[in-house]
Amino acid sequence: MAISTMIGASIKRREDPELITGTGSFVDDLPQTGVLHMYIVRSTQPHARLLGVETSAAKDADGVVAILTGKDLRPDFQAPLPVTPTFVPDKKAPAQYPIATDKVRYVGEPVALVLATSRSAAEDAAERIEVRYAPLPAVTDLMTATEKGAPIIHEELGTNLSYESKFSAGDMEAALREADVTIKERLIQQRLIPVAVETRGVVADYKPFANTLTVWSSTQIPHFVKVWLAVILGIPESQVRVVAPDVGGGFGSKIRVYPEEILTALASRKVGRRVKWIEDRSENMRATHHGRSQIWDVEVAAKKDGTVLGVRTTQWLDLGAYCSQFGTFMVIGVLVAQGAYKLKAFDGRSVGVFTNRTPTDAYRGAGRPEATYFIERVMDLVAQKTGLDPAEVRRKNFIRKEEQPFTTLLGLTYDSGDYELTLSKALDMVGYRQLRQEQAEKRKQGQYLGIGLSTYIEICGLGPAATTQAATGVSLWGMSVVRLHFTGKATVIIGSSPHGQGHETTFAQIVGDVLGLPIEDIDVVHGDTAIGPMGMDTYGSRSTAMDGTAAHLSATKVREKARKIAAHLLEAAEGDVVYENGKAFVKGTPSKAVTIQEIAMAAFQTNRLPPGMEGGLEASTFFDPANFVWPFGAHIAVVEVDGETGAVRILRYVAVDDCGTRINPMVVDGQLHGGIAQGIGQALLEEGVYDAEGQLKTGTLVDYLIPSAADLPRFELAATVTPSPVNPLGVKGVGEAGTIASSAAVVNAVVDALAPFGVTDIPMPVTPQKVWQLMHKNGGRKR
């Protein structure tokens, strides 16, 4: 393959052979010698005073080295777990410590640690620990949690309300007065349990004499974990190293500094030995944060020609028992809920509430699936009420290509977009007109075909340093180092780290494109805080737009220096030398070229460097773009609802996505496949359910359904390319796009199929039981 076509090439992911042959190296695969195994005793109570932890029987058990309780460990914490300010800086965020001392607030909260010579010894000993609780009534309902008389989870606050914030612009009352139609609806974002194939795991190794700590963690954020280990344990940051080895999926669930990272490190410091903790699946379902768990109340003002004048929403956000690190990031959903449309008024409110359930935090899309679900359901509600076609309602309200960059009512500016183009392409692909005819025919025969659209936009590529500093308290940069070795091979060190995304391939493509090196000559290094630059880690589909751009810029700096060295070697004027495909030559004489390998060698030899030039061939970059990037697209689901059973089958799924320049279209498609599957999982199958007492009823994969290939159709994908103007590569993110778009498309399709029954909404997950009940409600079919 010609090197100059490296960007846009569907190169197979080079990380995969290792992963699919079982030779990857995950936390659990690290050398075991001398390691102590940690088992965490967790609260079985959703809300209770912790009266005591009786450990004497367990201490004598075989293989036990130490047992530690919250009371033993509390003096060692120099700070609570971090909570970022994210959009609602004045929220009430009670301090959460990694282990309970006086009270437990959700099932799964750590209560005691058992350290033993084997995992089974630790588990056996844990059974001998007696935890004495005085149970308290639990808060398990988001909508009644703040009512007078509800049990208070954090007494020091005197309320279960964390915050209530408004984000409004334009005159919603005027929009309602001007409207021909108004609609009210309540949309449910059920609680989701992220199910990464690899559960979390931590190995910590504290060296007492050197006061150094090395932690291997299955995390998306090794750099942030390093900082917080240093702060919470009081170890100089320079003496803490965090490594994220191969990480088997995260989907946002490994985005926070977790209690277990602190506890494993602290346990290692207490006993002076290497300590390992590996989460088991049922622990994972309770202790790893959950996602979504929101209710969105909706009010719409529209004209009878389909023009949407204004929307009002309240996002009720179930934070769970504590404010998780990025729990209130989900407020972003309200901030971007305007979607791809022009509106006169937006009236948004977000209310964050504590309940006695596992804390919620980012889950693939984090706020943007909720926003898309809201505005895309709004478009369909308006179509239904006005009798217009859902595609026409969208077209009527779209922000036009020539209006980009477009500033929303709440002041965010879209970088570029052509929403009409992706919609037209998707409609063509699916054969929309013909499908509508087919639908009408089938209805006559009592068969229920549904067509659902979702023309989403997304904010990602987090994100401009100043904006993210103001919104979240952290300046987010893209970071990279590109280093050429003596022999002309390159190392690229990036500030993000993948957990399934394929960075080792795509980042090599980015650098290879600039330097004209084959990707076999480029090693992409990530996820180790002891190597390379400070990083800002992986979330918010930011890596390519931020660290990818930083890698491009570092490579460009290296290329520029290489060109200067080449000019010296060729005894030519700098201005006459060009660099192409890994070679530098005087313009017009490519036969007399010096290769990058020769230039790299010369960069380390004083006798071959231009006089006064510093040696080496290496550059680093802190990249700070002017804006976020805003991918978009049009997804169409075609479903069939079984009139007898209420079962939903997805017949077709068409998606046209635009993530700007695609570095590797095959990787992009892979990201979309996974993302769409996850959104379909939310639409049809998944729900984290608690009973009225606060016990998790879906604590295993038997009760919590995730989609398998058998539940999914073949995805029909296509792309348009609208480059982003905010980075030189023109890239936007794609890691979450599929999830952001797909739940809305599928639910819109089901509601469309059920239109003859007068159905206007159906809460996710759309189970056969709910569908069947709606079909039989109030005497069945209406038209």
**Chain contacts with ligand MCN (rule: CB under 6 A):** 249-252, 364, 496, 499-503, 506, 538-544, 548, 659-664, 667-668, 671, 674, 731-736
User: Does residue 765 have a cis bond before it (omega within 30 degrees)?
Assistant: yes
Whose Cβ is closer to ligand MCN: residue 320's or residue 365's?
365
C-beta closer to ligand MCN: residue 450 or 548? 548
Phi-psi region for residue 142, left (φ > 0), alpha (ψ -120 to 50) or beta?
alpha
Tell the smallest beta-carbon distance from residue 502 to ligand MCN (Å): 4
Q: Which is nearer to ligand MCN, 213 or 519 (CB)?
A: 519
Min. distance of Cβ 653 from ligand MCN in angstroms?
18
Q: How far is the CB of 600 from ligand MCN (least distance, A)?
A: 25
Q: How far is the CB of 503 from ligand MCN (least distance, A)?
A: 5
Q: How many CB atoms lie within 10 A of CB 434?
A: 9
Are 639 and 452 contacting, i.e. CB atoms less than 8 angstroms apart?
A: yes
Closest approach, Cβ 436 to ligand MCN, in A, equals 33
CB of 699 to ligand MCN, least distance (A): 22
- Between strands 275-278 and 291-302, the pairing is unpaired
Min dist. Cβ of residue 495 to ligand MCN (A): 11
The residue (of 358 and 727) whose beta carbon lies closer to ligand MCN is 727
Return phi, psi of residue 327, to 5°.
Answer: -55, -45
Nearer to ligand MCN, 496 or 682 (CB): 496
In this complex, which beta carbon is closest to ligand MCN, that of residue 707 or of residue 733?
733
**Least distance in Å: CB of 544 to ligand MCN?**
3
Q: 303: how many CB neighbours lie within 10 A of its CB?
A: 16
- What order do you get walking across the sheet with 715-719 strand by strand? 448-457, 632-641, 648-658, 715-719
Report the alpha-carbon distance of residue 689 to residue 686 in Å, rounded: 10
Question: Contacts by 88-93 with C-beta closer than 8 Å and gap 24+?
Answer: 88/162, 88/163, 88/165, 88/328, 88/331, 88/350, 88/352, 89/473, 90/163, 91/162, 91/163, 91/323, 91/328, 91/352, 92/154, 92/157, 92/159, 92/161, 92/162, 92/163, 92/323, 93/162, 93/322, 93/323
Q: Which is nearer to ligand MCN, 42 or 368 (CB)?
A: 368
- With respect to ligand MCN, which residue has the nearer C-beta, 548 or 688? 548
| 3-class DSSP assignment, residue 296 | strand
Closer CB to ligand MCN, 365 or 516, in the complex: 365
d(CA 57, CA 118): 18
Cα gap 46→355, rounded to integer Å: 9
What's the gap between Cα 757 and its chain centre?
A: 37
**What is the C-alpha separation between 307 and 52, in angstroms, rounded?**
62
Cβ(237)–Cβ(224) below 8 Å: no
Is residue 751 a contact partner of residue 772, using CB atoms and an 8 Å limit?
A: no
CB of 629 to ligand MCN, least distance (A): 9
Which residue, among 216, 215, 218, 217, has the nearest Cα to 197 in the 3D structure?
218
Q: Are strands 212-217 and 240-243 parallel, antiparallel or unpaired?
A: parallel
Q: How far is the CB of 532 from ligand MCN (least distance, A)?
A: 17
Nearer to ligand MCN, 69 or 664 (CB): 664
d(CA 397, CA 311): 13
Cα distance between residue 622 and residue 536, in whole Å: 11
Q: What is the DSSP string of 431-480?
A: THHHHHHHHHHHHHTT-EEEEEEEEEE--BS---HHHHHHHHS----EEE
Mark 392-415 as b/e (b = at least 16 C-beta within 10 Å). ebbebbbbeeeebebebbbebebb
Evaluate whether 46 touches 106 at the Cβ level (below 8 Å): yes
- Least Cβ distance, residue 492 to ligand MCN (angstroms): 12
The residue (of 43 and 722) whose beta carbon lies closer to ligand MCN is 722
SS3 (DSSP) at 566: helix
The DSSP 8-state label assigned to residue 545 in this structure reads I
User: Residue 468 Cβ, how far from ligand MCN at the closest point, in Å?
Assistant: 14
Comparison of 162 and 544: residue with beta carbon closer to ligand MCN: 544
| Shortest distance, position 167 Cβ to ligand MCN, whole Å | 23
Instruction: Give 657 or 687: the residue with its C-beta nearer to ligand MCN.
Output: 657
What is the nearest approach in angstroms of ligand MCN to the Cβ of residue 548? 6
Secondary structure letter of residue 359 according to DSSP: P
Query: Which tokens hold the place of 497?
Result: 């780290």
**Shortest separation between residue 689's beta carbon and ligand MCN, angstroms:** 23
Find out whether 187 and 377 touch, Cβ atoms under 8 Å.
Answer: yes
Q: Work out how close the CB of 737 gets to ligand MCN at its nearest, in angstroms, rounded to a whole number.
A: 8
Of the two residues 37 and 499, which places its CB atom closer to ligand MCN in the complex? 499
Q: Which residues contact 330 (CB under 8 A, 6 or more apart)?
A: 294, 315, 317, 360, 362, 366, 367, 370
Please report how many Cα atoms fall inside a 13 Å half-sphere around the Cα of residue 777, on the Cβ side.
15
| CA–CA separation, 293 and 308 (whole Å) | 27
In terms of CB distance, is 366 or 426 closer to ligand MCN? 366
Burial of 437 (0-12, 13-18, 19+ CB in 10 A): exposed
- For the bound state, the minimum distance from the C-beta of residue 255 to ligand MCN, rounded and expressed in Å, comes to 8
Cis peptide upstream of residue 405 (ω within 30 degrees of 0)? yes
Q: Whose Cβ is closer to ligand MCN: residue 241's or residue 503's?
A: 503
Q: How far is the CB of 413 from ligand MCN (least distance, A)?
A: 20
Instruction: Give 97 or 414: the residue with its C-beta nearer to ligand MCN.
Output: 414
CA-wise closest residue to 206 among 44, 335, 35, 52: 35
Question: How far apart, in whole angstroms, are the C-alpha atoms of residue 214 and residue 530?
Answer: 10
Nearer to ligand MCN, 386 or 509 (CB): 509
The H-or-E segment that residue 49 falls in is: strand 48-54
